[in-house]
Amino acid sequence: MPANKKHLTKSLHQRVAKISAAIIGGYLVTMSLHLVLALWLDRATVLITATFSGFILWAALMVVAFLGRNGWKTWGIYLLLTAFFMGVVYVGKMYLPETI
């Protein structure tokens, strides 16, 4: 049974934004979150569990990217989250240089 046409995204730009936000943006958020966790928690444990939890989080963020109406807002949210997590990593390296 085909999808109802009224629920599909008509704009090519929105489709590209949603697909790229799902794949690339979701990956950036996932990896930056795991870097923060590796900074503040036991690094070996986080890196071992990141193979499974990273895939689960990435898949969830891929689904979330398609729930919104605007792909550019999704990109903005994902980039803000990534910047926030990278800021936490930067501050952590400044104040805890021996753990890195």
96 pLDDT more than 90: no
1 pLDDT more than 70: no
pLDDT score for 100: 53
Token pair in block for residue 68? 């919104």
pTM of the full structure: 0.85
Domain boundaries, the chain: 13-99
Alpha-carbon span 21 to 3, nearest angstrom: 22
Alpha-carbon span 37 to 54, nearest angstrom: 12
Using 50, 70 and 90 to split pLDDT, how confident is the model at 10?
confident
The sign of the CA dihedral 43, 45, 46, 51 is: positive
The predicted-structure confidence for 17-73, as pLDDT tens digits, reads as follows 999 999 999 999 999 999 999 888 888 898 899 889 999 999 999 999 999 889 999
**Mean pLDDT within 88-98:** 83
Using 50, 70 and 90 to split pLDDT, how confident is the model at 99?
low
Contact between residue 47 and residue 38 where contact means Cβ atoms under 8 Å apart: yes
